[in-house]
């Protein structure tokens, strides 16, 4: 499969990092062509399946089975039409441009089948979460092809429509930002308690990582796991009461997701 990745920003670059790392094992027959004015041109070789280009190749010189749109949403209309004549027969378009609808992508790509994808940043280390939503013209083989790519970068979840994809964006697409901010505040509080900055960072991140790993390995609910480490009148109980005894944390997180979802709707 010949794949054009239009754009090499943070998310496009994160995905490419992972695809490149597993290419020999999972994508031996794939060739990736990264097209971005800011990249340093270079040709693929037997060990590296990636070619970097600053502009699209000549129409009569190259066609692509899949075009992945990874530019900012406001640039999609400027660049995507150039790739419609470069799609192979049976080719399709996948887009990670937030807020750019399937209908709009369909029109800009010469009526090509469309799959919208919403990945998140941990895709760069193979631990991302990606939501996928296909239009009615996307074939099972095309859905399988893009799912295989995204599965190489983490877990995947198909959703039934674009509204649900916007809701997933609010939870998982933007989610790493929330987690980084919670971790940053947690570290800052540990430092205020008198713990050295390097030690505070390690304690917080290791505590979060271990707790998530334990939750993923357990069939118990998160409420049950929380209760299992909370002795009556103990230190954890005191801390939890300060954290969310009044429900403020729950309300703040709900407001966070609603704000992100509302913004996704505005960007449609």
Domains, the chain, ordered by start: 2-171 (3.40.50.720), 175-266 (1.10.3730.10)
Our CA angle for 245, 237, 229, nearest 5°, is 125
CA distance 150 to 158: 11
The tokens describing 102, both together, are 């399937």
pLDDT tens, residue by residue, 210-247: 999 999 999 999 999 999 999 999 999 999 999 999 99
pLDDT of 45 above 80: no
239: β partners: none
Count Cα neighbours of 136 within 13 Å in the Cβ-side half-sphere.
Answer: 1
How far is C-alpha 215 from the geometric centre of its chain's CA atoms?
A: 22
- Nearest alpha-carbon partner for 119 in 34, 1, 11: 11
Q: What is the per-residue pLDDT for 62?
A: 74
Angle between helices 197-217 and 175-192 (to 10 degrees): 130
16-20, 67-71, 149-153, 208-212: segment of lowest average pLDDT:
16-20
Is residue 131 within 8 A of residue 169, CB to CB? The reply is yes
pLDDT bracket for residue 252 (50, 70, 90) = very high
Q: Which string of DSSP letters, residue by residue, matches 74-136? A: GGHHHHGGGGGGGEEEEEEEEE--TT--HHHHHHHTTS--EEEEE--GGGGGT-EEEEEEE-T
CA distance 128 to 144: 18
Contacts of 143 (CB under 8 A, 6+ apart): 115, 132, 134, 158
Give the whole-angstrom CA distance, residue 112 versus residue 231: 58
> Would the pLDDT of 140 be above 90?
yes
Compute how many other C-beta atoms are within 10 angstroms of the C-beta atom of residue 158.
Answer: 14
Q: Give the pLDDT mean for 29-57.
A: 83
pTM (2 decimals)? 0.88
CA-nearest of 141, 139, 102, 103 to 118 is 102
Pairing relation of β-strands 2-6 and 64-69? parallel
pLDDT mean over 68-86: 92
pLDDT of 188 above 90: yes
């Amino acid at each position: 499969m010949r794949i054009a990745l239009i754009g090499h920003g943070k998310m496009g670059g994160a995905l490419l990092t992972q695809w490149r790392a597993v290419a020999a094992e999972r994508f031996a027959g794939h060739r990736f062509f990264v097209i971005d004015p800011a990249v340093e041109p270079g040709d693929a070789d037997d060990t590296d399946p990636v070619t970097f280009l600053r502009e699209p190749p000549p129409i009569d010189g190259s066609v692509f089975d899949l075009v992945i749109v990874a530019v900012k949403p406001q640039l999609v209309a400027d660049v995507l039409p150039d790739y419609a004549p470069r799609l192979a027969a049976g080719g399709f378009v996948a887009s990670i441009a937030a807020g750019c609808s399937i209908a709009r992508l369909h029109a800009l790509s010469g009526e090509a089948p469309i799959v919208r994808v919403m990945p998140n940043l941990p895709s760069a280390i193979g631990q991302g979460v990606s939501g996928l939503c296909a239009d009615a013209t996307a074939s099972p083989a095309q859905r399988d092809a893009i799912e295989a790519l995204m599965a190489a970068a983490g877990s995947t979840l198909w959703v039934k429509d674009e509204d649900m994809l916007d809701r997933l964006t609010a939870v998982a697409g933007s989610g790493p930002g929330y987690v980084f901010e919670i971790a940053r505040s947690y570290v800052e509080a540990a430092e205020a308690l008198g713990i050295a900055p390097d030690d505070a960072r390690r304690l917080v991140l290791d505590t979060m990582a271990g707790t998530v790993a334990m939750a993923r390995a357990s069939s118990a609910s998160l409420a049950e796991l929380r209760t299992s480490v909370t002795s009556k009148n103990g230190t954890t109980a005191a801390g939890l009461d300060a954290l969310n005894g009044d429900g403020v944390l729950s309300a703040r997180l709900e407001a966070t997701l609603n704000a992100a979802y509302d913004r996704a709707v505005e960007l449609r």
